[in-house]
Amino acid sequence: MYIDVHGHVTAPDKLYAYKAGLLSHRGAHGHGHSGVTMEHVVEALNAPHPSFGKVSHLEHLDQAGVDIQFISPRPFQMMHSESPAKLVEWFTAETNDVIALCCEADSRFRGVAGMPQSMELDPAEWTRELRRCVNDLGFVGATLNTDPYEGLRQPPAIGDRFWYPVWEALCELDVPAIIHSAACRPPARESYSLHFVQEETLAVAGLLQSKVLDDFPDLKIVVSHGGGAIPYQKGRFYPAALRAGTTFEERLRKLHYDTCLYTRDSIEFLLRTVGVDRCLFGTEKPGTGSVKDPETGRWIDDIHLLIEDIDWLTDADRKALFETNAAELFRIEV
């Protein structure tokens, strides 16, 4: 079985027309509604998409044999830095409702909540939507953007007590957080994709250098895209860990990582560094990697094929990567 922990919603255009309306009137016309129905959702999931190689979301899953996919909001759409905060709250709730419809439309999907991470709100206020999604909609986790300012300002470090209300809610609900940045607004030195890598890198370093995982021993964190740059720069952190009487590998194994890396050598290095038991199959399919590699003819986001190509993995390793690690961490029945 393939359980893909890293997917994003393919939503009807009506959801993003609703967003445009919110931005144009800045909340003056009230919350309103996107008008998205089950019919719209089914149509969007089955429609060939130009950004996904002219193949639909469901066709991508069919071709890759994905049995279960966790879907969260499209990161670049989440507008966490917009003002007033009610715009972020309204659009996040509407997006989560569309994700719930997708889960109802196709039994392969599981919902992962977006939170209204406006910096005009206390993080405790973000968790109201998380609780609604888990308790009322049956979602299995949440995404956490470590840069709600979206590059405009510097947010508190991930080890800061500012974030503690989120950790408390996640532990109370017993659901994991998937670290995944959102947009990066200009002016910025980095691109959208590089912003992801930087935020994931900061998240891993910040969590491992702070008291968060001591204060919340039951906290479950999955870092997208293989943990940013940290596993591949591990030597830089060896000496400090040894001086503290531990190893950096031991610290890295306090977190989980997805395999959404798009090259075999990167995935293999991640598995050797943190261990198969700390990694979860993730593809972000369809998305950035939904382009055919001219050399192989494969979709670049065919992560399952890259993992199958790693010849030292045992059958038990592959079962853990593809299925049991995710099923156990997210407490889902398979």
Q: What is the pLDDT of residues 175-201, one digit of tens each?
A: 999 999 999 998 888 888 899 999 999
pLDDT-derived band at 121 (thresholds 50, 70, 90) equals very high
Beta-carbon count within 10 A of 240 CB: 12
Are 127 and 115 within 8 A, CB to CB? yes
Domains and CATH numbers, the chain: 3-329 (3.20.20.140)
Strands (E), the chain: 3-8, 68-72, 109-113, 141-144, 177-179, 221-223, 256-258, 279-280
Q: At what angle do helices 38-46 and 57-64 cross, to 10 degrees?
A: 60
Four-residue CA torsion sign, 114, 321, 333, 44:
positive
pLDDT at 266 over 90: yes
Are 221 and 228 within 8 A, CB to CB? no
pLDDT value of residue 187 = 87
Which range is least confidently modeled, 15-19, 79-83, 191-195, 291-295?
A: 191-195
pLDDT value of residue 334 = 83
pLDDT tens digits for range 87-100: 999 999 999 999 99
pLDDT at 224 over 90: yes
Q: Which of the 8 DSSP states describes residue 129? A: H
- pLDDT > 70: what percent of the chain? 100
Residues in the chain: 334
pLDDT value of residue 244 = 87
pLDDT at 44 over 90: yes
- pLDDT > 90: what percent of the chain? 94
CA-angle at 74, arms to 175 and 274, nearest 5°: 50
Which structure tokens are listed for 302?
Answer: 């065919």
Phi/psi at 167 (5° precision): -60, -40
pLDDT at 333 over 90: no
Average pLDDT score over residue span 117-125: 98
d(CA 146, CA 225): 14
Bond before 186 cis per omega within 30 degrees: no
d(CA 274, CA 253): 6
Bond before 294 cis per omega within 30 degrees: no
Bond before 286 cis per omega within 30 degrees: yes
Bond before 187 cis per omega within 30 degrees: yes
Mean of pLDDT over the chain: 96
Phi/psi at 258 (5° precision): -95, 165
Q: Residue with structure tokens 């989120």? A: 166
3-state secondary structure of 92: helix
Helix (H) or strand (E) run with residue 49 in it: none
HSE, side-chain direction, 13 A CA sphere, residue 38: 4
